[in-house]
Structure 1
Amino acid sequence: MTSTHPAPAAGGSPLVASALTKVYGTAQATTHALAGVSLTVQPGESLAIMGPSGSGKTTLLHCLAGITTPSSGAVLWRGEDVTTLSDARRTVLRRNDFGFVFQSGQLLPELPAVENAALPLMLAGTARAEATAVAARWLAHLGLAGMEQRRPGELSGGQAQRVAIARALVGSPGVVFADEPTGALDQSTGAEVLDVLTHATSASGAALVIVTHDAGVARHCSRTVTMRDGRISGEFRAPGTQAAAAATGGVAQTVPTPPATGAGGVR
């Protein structure tokens, strides 16, 4: 089955936010969660958004991903302003063009790992056998060969997050959004998961946007922006494309080219 959206590649579309604001409350008591944020995320780039609680970092991620509609401003993706799309169109966008990794993984407990990873493809209309075949290749690629039939309760926290990463990448999204993806993991396991996440997204050509309060997590990314009071307060670019070794005191894990999708052409 041929996908309705192209696989990301170098030189693909950037994700561009322009003058985003988000205001909550009433005229008598308002909260400016975002106060004019402009940001561009390039294909293959890994971006960390840092800031204390209440700084606006999660609101920014939700606006970039089409989960929340900003009060004003634009989010441009592949020639469309995400903020003006209907709810139905944004749902399709999140399913086909964007991938998500959450702090708790949010896997369905009754499904085995391979079906959890295959969900985006099956929801997009891919036959179950074909979708699970692609998902199985991703699981093997991420070090979970032989665990395809294990349910989330039979996996460690790090293994479950790898399944979540496979789910995020199985449909070849243009952007992967991760909200505190290692917040529920110990430091060592979290570093391993971050290595997998950053390398796998980069190798697939997808951009990666991570929200975190942890500087150690941010050091895995090629660029970091800091937020305070709904505004971008600073920016730092890592000297190399991968800073995981510096963050962990070791050598960043090398992840090979993502698995081929096979004769079915699912991307």
Structure 2
Amino acid sequence: MFRSTSSTAVDPRLTGGDLVAADLVKTYPGTTTPALRGVDLTITAGESVAVMGPSGSGKTTLLHLLAGVLTPTSGWVAWRGRDLASLGDAGRTRLRRTDFGFVFQSGHLLPELPAIENVALPLMLAGVPRRAATARAAELFPPLGLDGLTGRRPGELSGGQAQRVAIARAMVGDPGVVFADEPTGALDQATGSEVMEHLLRRCRTAHASLVVVTHDELVARWCSRTVRLRDGLVVADDRVSSR
């Protein structure tokens, strides 16, 4: 198994796409059955991928490994030629601030902050001055249909509005890939479709890849590719170029 010794070392196997995973195995402490049992996955720039499967199939584990939130028991994940394991915890944390964006089912917005500061927060955590960060954040509100909502707190937003604020937060740092974990799970079908439309549009505008974990076939249809897991293995990989 290859492990790079520095963030600049590149193995030819790491360069088949923007995000590459090989032979991923993940066994959680205290368990004997792996959550993932040898998953290979390559995601190219600008691709939108839905990850589906029954509960317990390994969907969220795969997303967390791809995003560097978890480390694999064996196998590896590489982002633009860099093995994530070689970066260490601090390096992966920086990567999640600069190259990766996240959208969660519940939004995970901070209730005490107005929408504009929720969106600007990743930039401020990365050291961008508040004025510059909020100015950048404000640019994302009109394209997402959020005009006039910069000062509202999450409790004053509808579910769809809150998820669009979460999309703005995910996109504010110009990420190369956005990870979305059940982004429409708490929304009705019409609002969920609206959120997916905004999410895909913003990713296309930014030339970012999208990885969506979902149980919803309607959500998967928005994506150009659907990867299906069962018992920790990829059992289907469907690409539909016309989506």
TM-score (norm 1): 0.83
Match of 1:136 in 2: 138
Could you tell me how far apart the structure 1 residues matched to 2:81 and 2:194 are? 35
Does 2:80 correspond to 1:44?
no
Match of 1:23 in 2: 27
Does the 8 Å CA contact 2:21/2:39 hold for their aligned counterparts?
yes
**Change over 3 Å in CA distance of 1:121–1:96 after alignment to 2:** same
Q: Deviations over 1:43-64 (max 9, x none)?
A: 1110000000000111000000
Measured after TM superposition, the shift of residue 13 of structure 1 is 5.9
Could you tell me how far apart the structure 1 residues matched to 2:29 and 2:165 are? 38
Could you tell me how far apart the structure 2 residues matched to 1:42 and 1:78 are? 10
Measured after TM superposition, the shift of residue 83 of structure 1 is 2.5
Give structure 2 stretches of 5+ with no counterpart.
Answer: 1-15
Does the 8 Å CA contact 2:17/2:43 hold for their aligned counterparts?
no
Match of 2:9 in 1: none
Measured after TM superposition, the shift of residue 98 of structure 1 is 0.3
Match of 2:100 in 1: 98
Moved over 3 A (4+): none
Match of 2:160 in 1: 158
Measured after TM superposition, the shift of residue 89 of structure 1 is 1.0
In the TM superposition, 1:176-187 aligns within 5 A as 176-187=178-189
Alignment size in residue pairs = 228
Q: Name the aligned partner's letter for residue 49 of structure 1.
A: V
Secondary structure of residue in 1 paired with 2:85: helix
Could you tell me how far apart the structure 1 residues matched to 2:153 and 2:207 are? 29
Measured after TM superposition, the shift of residue 39 of structure 1 is 0.4
Q: Name the aligned partner's letter for residue 212 of structure 1.
A: T
Does the 8 Å CA contact 1:16/1:40 hold for their aligned counterparts?
yes
Secondary structure of residue in 1 paired with 2:178: strand
Q: Name the aligned partner's letter for residue 97 of structure 1.
A: D
Could you tell me how far apart the structure 2 residues matched to 1:239 and 1:61 are? 23
Q: Name the aligned partner's letter for residue 150 of structure 2.
A: E
Does the 8 Å CA contact 1:35/1:231 hold for their aligned counterparts?
yes
Does the 8 Å CA contact 1:25/1:31 hold for their aligned counterparts?
no
Q: Name the aligned partner's letter for residue 182 of structure 2.
A: E
Match of 2:5 in 1: none
Secondary structure of residue in 2 paired with 1:225: strand
Q: Deviations over 1:57-99 (max 9, x none)?
A: 1100000000011101111112211123211111111111100
Match of 1:221 in 2: 223
Let me know the Cα RMSD of the aligned residues: 1.3
Q: Deviations over 1:28-54 (max 9, x none)?
A: x50211111010111111000000000
Q: Name the aligned partner's letter for residue 148 of structure 1.
A: T
Give structure 1 stretches of 5+ with no counterpart.
Answer: 1-11, 243-267
Does the 8 Å CA contact 2:20/2:78 hold for their aligned counterparts?
yes
Could you tell me how far apart the structure 1 residues matched to 2:146 and 2:100 are? 23
Measured after TM superposition, the shift of residue 213 of structure 1 is 1.1
Secondary structure of residue in 1 paired with 2:38: strand
Match of 1:263 in 2: none
Secondary structure of residue in 2 paired with 1:184: coil
Match of 1:68 in 2: 70
Could you tell me how far apart the structure 1 residues matched to 2:240 and 2:57 are? 22
Measured after TM superposition, the shift of residue 25 of structure 1 is 4.2
Q: Aligned to 2:205, which of 178, 203, 206?
A: 203
Measured after TM superposition, the shift of residue 110 of structure 1 is 0.6
Match of 1:147 in 2: 149
Match of 2:235 in 1: 233
